[in-house]
Copies of this chain bind each other. A is one copy, B any other.
Amino acid sequence: MSEVSEVTREEWAVWRKFYAMRRQLDRALEDQLQRDAGISGPDYEILLALFESPQRRLRSRDLTARIGWEKSRISHQVTRMEARGLVERSECEDDLRGTWIELTTQGRRAVLGAMREHTTAIRGLFFDVLTPEELSSLQAVSERVLEAINPPACDEDS
């Protein structure tokens, strides 16, 4: 704690490698979705959430809770997707503030076309190249980094 923030050469190398991996992985998955279903990653997240819901529809509020975006991001994204015919907005009867967001036939077709290949891609590029030990190591690392970012309200004081 005395020597502030030294980071060794090897650590930087890992950091950069990790950085590059994240970006290229995202890129590869985006490309796959675009190829197989003509949709983007954000499109897919929304379509999948709707697809897995009761009437293939959700209120904006619940969509927000499900995928963890900001409400304005949802709204903008849905606007673009509605213009392309992937989803449809409709009024919510029991709560006049609410908005239903519903999968269209075309949206359903898109998500069906994307799912299998998407899963296959994730398996091929990620899970298939990890050993079980690496997988659990990665999980542990992820959890610990998340804890470091959001300290879990450690009331271990008085």
| Chain B nearest CB, measured from A43 CB (Å) | 17
Residues of the B chain whose Cβ atoms lie less than 8 Å from the Cβ of A137: 133-134, 137-138
Closest chain B residue to A125, Cβ basis: B148
Report which residue of A24, A116, A149 has the largest number of chain B beta carbons within 10 angstroms of its beta carbon.
A149
Residues of the B chain whose Cβ atoms lie less than 8 Å from the Cβ of A149: 24-25, 28, 125
Interface check A128, CB cutoff 8 A: yes
User: Which of B123, B145, B147 makes the CB contact (< 8 A) with A126?
Assistant: B145
Count how many chain A residues have C-beta atoms less than 8 Å from C-beta atoms of the other chain: 46
Closest chain B residue to A123, Cβ basis: B5
Residues of the B chain whose Cβ atoms lie less than 8 Å from the Cβ of A83: none
Closest chain B residue to A119, Cβ basis: B5
Count this chain's copies in the assembly: 2
Residues of the B chain whose Cβ atoms lie less than 8 Å from the Cβ of A142: 14, 17-18, 20-21
| Chain B nearest CB, measured from A20 CB (Å) | 6
Residues of the B chain whose Cβ atoms lie less than 8 Å from the Cβ of A14: 135-136, 138-139, 142
Interface check A96, CB cutoff 8 A: no
Closest chain B residue to A150, Cβ basis: B24
A127 touches B7 (CB 8 A): yes
Residues of the B chain whose Cβ atoms lie less than 8 Å from the Cβ of A28: 149
A15 touches B122 (CB 8 A): yes
